[in-house]
């Protein structure tokens, strides 16, 4: 995703194609026994902001996904509430992330309802 965001040729760029090739090795490892080897030049050092990696260096993406992310973050009515919830209930949010695999950056009422229902069902 990072190469598709940074490179002029997007998903057709050389690093992206090379990474896709290694991914096919990783997927077929159980059948072939050939491991994927990610060369150092394909290791990412910074991520676009829309990937939301708080523990990694990020940059503001000026491509379509980055622009949509910036706009949605500013206009989401629950965004400020989410920020407060993150600060107050970080352990609860971490529990949700681990249990559901969902990263809640700005949940909609339907998302919160689904999580509540899932939690109650569990």
CA dist list (Å): 17 to 1, 14, 66: 12, 5, 22
Find, among 51, 69, 70, 41, the residue nearest to 2 by Cα. Answer: 51
58: tokens are 């990020």
**This prediction's pTM:** 0.55
Supply 35's token pair: 């491991």
Can you give the three-state secondary structure of the chain, one letter per residue? Answer: CHHHHHCCCHHHCHHHHHHHHHHHHHHCHHHHCCCCCCCHHHCCCCEEHHHCCCCCCEECCCCHHHHHHHHHHHHCCCHHHHHHHHHHCHHHHHHHHHHHCCCCCCCCHHHHHHHHHHHHHC
The pLDDT score that the predictor gives to residue 53 is 81
Give the pLDDT of the chain (122 residues) as one tens digit per residue.
898 899 889 889 999 999 999 999 999 999 999 999 999 999 999 999 888 787 889 999 999 888 888 877 665 656 666 666 655 555 665 666 666 665 555 555 555 555 555 555 54
């Amino acid at each position: 995703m990072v190469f598709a965001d940074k490179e002029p040729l997007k998903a057709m760029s050389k690093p992206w194609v090379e990474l896709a090739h290694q991914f096919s090795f990783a997927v077929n490892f159980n059948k072939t026994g050939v491991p994927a080897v990610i060369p150092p030049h394909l290791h990412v050092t910074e991520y676009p902001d829309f990937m939301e990696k708080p523990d990694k260096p990020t940059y503001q993406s000026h491509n379509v996904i980055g622009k949509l992310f910036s706009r949605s973050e500013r206009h989401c009515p629950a965004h400020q509430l989410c920020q407060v919830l993150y600060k107050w209930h970080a352990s609860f949010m971490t529990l949700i992330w681990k249990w559901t695999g969902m990263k809640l950056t700005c949940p909609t009422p339907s998302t919160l309802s689904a999580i509540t229902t899932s939690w109650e069902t569990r």
